[in-house]
Structure 1
Amino acid sequence: MESEDKSDCQMQRVSSPSVIVIGSGFAGIAAARALHDAMFQVIVLESRDRIGGRVHTDYSSGFPVDLGASWLHGVCKENPLAPVIGRLGLPLYRTSGDNSVLYDHDLESYALYDLDGNQVPQELVSKTGETFESILKETDLVRQEFSGDMSIQRAISIVLERRPDLRLEGLAHKVLQWCLCRMEGWFAADADTISVKCWDQEVLLPGGHGFMVRGYLPVINTLAKGLDIRLGHRVTKVVRRYNGVKVTVEDGRTFIADAAVLTVPLGVLKSNCIKFEPRLPKWKEEAINDLGIGIENKIVLLFEKVFWPNVEFLGVVAETSHGCSYFLNLHKATGHSALVYMPAGQLARDIEKLSDEAAANVAFTQLLKLLPNASASPPIQYLVSHWGTDKNSLGSYSYDTVGKSHDLYERLRIPLDNLFFAGEATSIDYPGSVHGAYFTGLMAAEDCRMRVLERYGELDLFQPVMGEEVPVSAPILISRM
């Protein structure tokens, strides 16, 4: 599969079909695992010095901390990742039931504060959550009425113009802005860029949301076992030919195979750092350009001891969603004295311009605002993610932008000859999620298997990639402490 000779060399027919998988995130590893198990020769080319992509479990503080994805969205048998996690016996910590207005957290699990450090009464938080839900339901009427698309923010302001009973003042207004800030965190984007036509097109699986207590790395390591993965191999060019695919990496080496599965993040595709020959068709390029890529980062603050309340999430409410913020309490789920500040959208972009020390300082300053009377000593260590500026990701995950159709995910997924596409941004049902990425990897592997073996006229030789195996079991959920 590898050609040491840099000249254009002919595809060699080998005893079993060969595939190059580009990218070793969940989609790439899922595709590579499935094709390897179906007796294909598989090489995985990965630009980073680690596998996992936007799944990155950091152990530098002595315990696992996910700087990227950290939830399983939908702890149920229907979730394609559930049996894998279940078999490994990895515990999940439930942060939300099925019907949470804030998706991955229930409102009861929050302690919210104003900028003077006064806690917002829980009753007001719950009541405002119900109002927020009513407003979102009303935006449905707005989108039915208007032929064109608009942002979720614009739709909300139309609802509030029409329905004075849903307008909130004072502290309740600030809590509503905080609910909007959490919604922006879910999409990793600002409300004035999120499409009202498509914002709820994602399929939310039942079973609530489970936080991966031991991190996602054990899962991807298990799936990657025994695969031929080449780290530090940044792909710069993909050439499709009638009899195969030729892939060039940064140092000029070339790899050839019957087919390739491309699983690089949407942000990387948008940057045009991979050249395609022949050029991708216009409809494919438009899908890449028109899909939104959001940014959410994590600033993990590790402390000597816990000085905050025993809730899952701490939040600061403010006049605008941009002024609001929230912290995930890792102590509640894992027993470690750490908080995770999670800025999204423009706020995340602004903070990414700072040094790690300055970013940690921003997070700690916000924390002091909400707990002014706590005996808070500065963090003893901090970890900072940079998903927006990291050249291997250039963003966190995809979302629907105003005026663009939801079928862009499907268009991005459609194969071109013997080049297949996978990744969270190719999942029409589960974009932006780990199980979405994993499932698209399996689908691309099956499409690839069928296409390649069809060409060889050997369809009966190999087992299906997505065959049923053991009875499916859902992962263990730890009840809330």
Structure 2
Amino acid sequence: MDSGDNKFNRQLRSNLCDSSLERKLTNSPSVIVIGAGFAGITAARTLHDASFQVTLLESRNRIGGRVHTNYSFGFPIDLGASWLHGVGNENPLASLIGRLGLPLYRTSGDNSVLYDHDLESYALYDMDGNQVPQDLVAKVGETFEAILKETDVIRQEFREDMSIQRAISIVFERRPDLRLEGVDHNVLQWYLCRMEGWFAADADTISLRGWDQEELLPGGHGLMVRGYLPVLNTLAKGLDIRLNHRVTKIVRGHSGVKITVDDGRVLVADAAVIAVPLGVLKSNSIQFEPRLPDWKEEAIRDIGVGIENKIVLHFDKVFWPNVEFLGIVAETTYVCSYFLNLHKATGHRVLVYMPSGQLARDIEKMPDEAAAKFAFTQLQRMFPNASEPIQYLVSHWGTDANSLGSYSYDTVGKSHDLYERLRVPVDNLFFAGEATSIDYPGSVHGAYSTGLMAAEDCRMRVLERHGELDLFQPAMGEDVPVSIPLLISRL
């Protein structure tokens, strides 16, 4: 073993690209963080503040990862994550947003029929452009809740897992009184479509056993009115961030890690925090030497990655009602659609079309212009005289090589414990990101909390090896004051 370790150590020294990196390895604790999304920046910030020498590598030409605030319209638009789910002091991210004084637009209270930004005001239309009465929508919502309760009974009865869609079919077989026809059926499909949007996946792939294992924090949902970038910039201030550095190889050994980027340069450190999206890990574009353990590879393989995109339409005038959501009900979830009305939340004349699952994958095959036209066509079903958009933006989270998906979800037959397996360190490699959060997968606060955890695990492990661990030093984050967001906007 000693000879192997010495050989690895000599290899690290021989591949140093400059003497400053050698000093990082020999004189003080050093960490390389891979991925400048929310989890990676949080881990880097925390370790930097703990006096570690931190280098943050990011494959994109910007920070943020799947959090991307775009300013091309002249005001902020989040093309990725845009909500704080759980506006209260139980959310680990809420206190940070509160201290920054960033406004939130509250889109719902605690009770979430849709498992997303629940509707306080909405307008739904059928395929012919007729508005669906709101009392009918509310009545179907109660039926949807009853159906979900019945699926829990099925979950208790069946030993084998199944999809949400299959469970709902069994409910209808047992409870024909819950079957709906005509427009009522179409509204029910719209509710299911919104549920699919929460997981960014189709109902026939979502696990009955695992779909509700996420911890939903109290306080409702808040839209980041000014976008998430101000939070990211605050966390990133003063960090050594190297953009356009795509990692291709990670070598780990007892004495440290060796990271190779796509131009052949090599960086070394005591440890690494890996905070790249699950879709990138699935693609095997990063080579691990030695291979990751089987249990880690299984977690990477078996956690699902869904796709939800945004097609943002900017108009010169408002022609839609002053509601939070607009939607089209239809016979299948694939044909249903919904738009977020940013004008109500931010004052900007913007509607955001949000396809997910198979529909999102199909739309990603289109050029941006065709995708924007498709979204506008859906809008015209509700408003035949709608004026054409003056600008548009289209996200591509599924085909973007830096993400290869939007966020994680539980697939049929796979354990929810896989999220924890993905988080568990391997030697001096520490893992972070929304897909490593067993309590808050798929969320920004999940990414944030795992960044904190990975940083603390890394700090303890590295200082222990350096013989510098102070048993009387409080764990990172213990002295952070807790507060709730200061400005809650109801624009």
Could you say which TM-score interval applies, normalised by the shorter chain?
Answer: over 0.9
Q: How far apart, CA to CA, are the structure 1 residues paired with 2:328 and 2:283?
A: 35
Are the aligned partners of 2:16 and 2:22 in contact in 1 as well (CA < 8 Å)? no
CA deviations on 1:343-397 (whole Å, 9 max, x unpaired) are: 000000000000000000000000000122xx32110000000000000000000
> Equivalent residues in 2 for 1:325-404 (5 A)?
325-372=337-384, 375-404=385-414
Are the aligned partners of 1:287 and 1:411 in contact in 2 as well (CA < 8 Å)? yes
1:198 pairs with one of 183, 192, 210 = 210
Using the size of structure 2 for normalisation, the TM-score is: 0.95
C-alpha deviation, 1:278, in angstroms = 0.2
Alignment of 1:438 onto 2:438: no
Q: How far apart, CA to CA, are the structure 2 residues paired with 1:299 and 1:463?
A: 48
Alignment of 1:230 onto 2:242: yes
Partner of 2:4: none
Letter in 1 for 2:429: L
Partner of 1:133: 145
Alignment of 1:302 onto 2:314: yes
Partner of 2:51: 39
C-alpha deviation, 1:473, in angstroms = 1.2
> Equivalent residues in 2 for 1:21-40 (5 A)?
21-40=33-52
Cα pair distance change 1:103/1:115, threshold 3 Å: same
> Equivalent residues in 2 for 1:199-278 (5 A)?
199-278=211-290
Name structure 2 gaps, 5 residues minimum: 1-12
Q: How far apart, CA to CA, are the structure 2 residues paired with 1:461 and 1:404?
A: 39
Cα pair distance change 1:2/1:186, threshold 3 Å: farther
C-alpha deviation, 1:477, in angstroms = 5.1
12-21 or 283-292: bigger deviation: 12-21
Cα pair distance change 1:85/1:393, threshold 3 Å: same
Partner of 2:5: none
Q: How far apart, CA to CA, are the structure 2 residues paired with 1:139 and 1:117?
A: 33
C-alpha deviation, 1:109, in angstroms = 1.7
Q: How far apart, CA to CA, are the structure 2 residues paired with 1:464 and 1:472?
A: 16
Q: How far apart, CA to CA, are the structure 1 residues paired with 2:113 and 2:471?
A: 49
Letter in 1 for 2:176: P
Query: What is the DSSP-based 3-state SS (H/G/I as helix, E as strand, rest coil) of the residue aligned with 2:107?
Result: strand
How many residue pairs match? The answer is: 478
Letter in 1 for 2:194: R
Partner of 1:417: 427
Q: How far apart, CA to CA, are the structure 2 residues paired with 1:463 and 1:236?
A: 36
Name structure 1 gaps, 5 residues minimum: none
C-alpha deviation, 1:164, in angstroms = 1.4
Partner of 1:115: 127
Q: Which aligned runs of 4 or more in structure 1 are off by greater than 6 angstroms?
A: 9-12
Alignment of 1:94 onto 2:106: yes
Cα pair distance change 1:371/1:230, threshold 3 Å: same
CA deviations on 1:228-268 (whole Å, 9 max, x unpaired) are: 00000000000001100000000000000000000000000
Q: How far apart, CA to CA, are the structure 2 residues paired with 1:133 and 1:140?
A: 11
260-269 or 106-115: bigger deviation: 106-115
Query: What is the DSSP-based 3-state SS (H/G/I as helix, E as strand, rest coil) of the residue aligned with 2:419?
Result: helix
Letter in 1 for 2:184: A
Are the aligned partners of 2:120 and 2:324 in contact in 1 as well (CA < 8 Å)? no
Are the aligned partners of 1:107 and 1:129 in contact in 2 as well (CA < 8 Å)? no
Q: How far apart, CA to CA, are the structure 2 residues paired with 1:472 and 1:107?
A: 28
Letter in 2 for 1:424: E
> Equivalent residues in 2 for 1:40-189 (5 A)?
40-189=52-201
Query: What is the DSSP-based 3-state SS (H/G/I as helix, E as strand, rest coil) of the residue aligned with 1:260?
Result: strand
Are the aligned partners of 2:101 and 2:487 in contact in 1 as well (CA < 8 Å)? no
Q: How far apart, CA to CA, are the structure 1 residues paired with 2:370 and 2:406?
A: 21
Identical-residue share of aligned pairs (%): 80
Letter in 1 for 2:262: E
Letter in 1 for 2:211: W
Letter in 1 for 2:146: S
Letter in 2 for 1:165: D
Query: What is the DSSP-based 3-state SS (H/G/I as helix, E as strand, rest coil) of the residue aligned with 2:208?
Result: coil
Q: How far apart, CA to CA, are the structure 1 residues paired with 2:486 and 2:186?
A: 37
Using the size of structure 1 for normalisation, the TM-score is: 0.97
C-alpha deviation, 1:100, in angstroms = 1.9
C-alpha deviation, 1:458, in angstroms = 1.0
Alignment of 1:449 onto 2:459: yes
Are the aligned partners of 1:445 and 1:465 in contact in 2 as well (CA < 8 Å)? no
Are the aligned partners of 2:57 and 2:245 in contact in 1 as well (CA < 8 Å)? yes
Cα pair distance change 1:13/1:52, threshold 3 Å: closer
Are the aligned partners of 1:300 and 1:340 in contact in 2 as well (CA < 8 Å)? yes
Q: How far apart, CA to CA, are the structure 1 residues paired with 2:162 and 2:25?
A: 53
Q: How far apart, CA to CA, are the structure 2 residues paired with 1:11 and 1:145?
A: 61
Q: How far apart, CA to CA, are the structure 2 residues paired with 1:272 and 1:139?
A: 36
